[in-house]
Amino acid sequence: MSSHGKEIAIALGKLLRRDVRQRIYVSLTDGVGEGVNESTYPVLSGLERCGSATAAELSAVLGLDRSVVSRHATTLEEAGLLNRAPDERDRRWTALTLTDAGKRAVEVMRERLHESIDDFLSEWPDDQVSVFTTILTAFTTNGPIADRTP
């Protein structure tokens, strides 16, 4: 019944710091390729998860305006990491799809991320890591952090 709110609040505060965020994304994206940075990474990553999507669909997933996604898509397109194509379902839409180079870039960054996380977690017993993962996932899905808009 002890209260961990304070400790968690401190840890959360660190995570939300701009310089910390920046360091995370720089370590992820450094040297991966032209146009890949803190801002464009989520578009690249989100596209990999969705397979293929429109700017509007991605904007909902990423919590960004569709105009922002469109601009980042242009950057990534110019870098040869994604393609634009007319969407057959509705000719108002534009389907965004990763190129092979785009897929490779995501692969590299994912591996960096997962490896650095797993490296750190290897210090802890696996059952404790499972608990950590479960609660952290719940925290960002149903917790005080989650979107409550219906």
Partner DNA sequence: TATTGTTATACTCTATAACTATA
Partner DNA sequence: TATAGTTATAGAGTATAACAATA
* Residues near DNA (CB under 7 A): 18-19, 37-39, 54-56, 63-68, 70-74, 84, 87, 90-94
Shortest Å, Cβ 53 to DNA: 8
- Residue 29 contacts residue 81 (beta carbons within 8 Å): no
Strand ranges, E, within 1-150: 52-53, 82-86, 94-98
Shortest Å, Cβ 100 to a second copy: 22
Q: Which entry of DNA, a second copy, none binds 150, CB below 5 to 8 A by partner kind?
A: none
Distance (Å, whole) CA 96 – CA 86: 9
Q: What angle do CA 97, 101, 104 make, to 5 degrees?
A: 100
Token pair 């977690």 in the structure block, residue: 121
CB of 26 or CB of 135, closer to DNA = 26
- Residue 48 contacts residue 98 (beta carbons within 8 Å): yes
CB of 50 or CB of 121, closer to DNA = 50
Distance (Å, whole) CA 96 – CA 49: 12
* Residues near a second copy (CB under 8 A): 1-21, 23-24, 27, 42, 45, 62-64, 110, 113-121, 124, 126, 128-133, 135-145, 147
CB of 34 or CB of 118, closer to a second copy = 118
Q: Which entry of DNA, a second copy, none binds 48, CB below 5 to 8 A by partner kind?
A: none
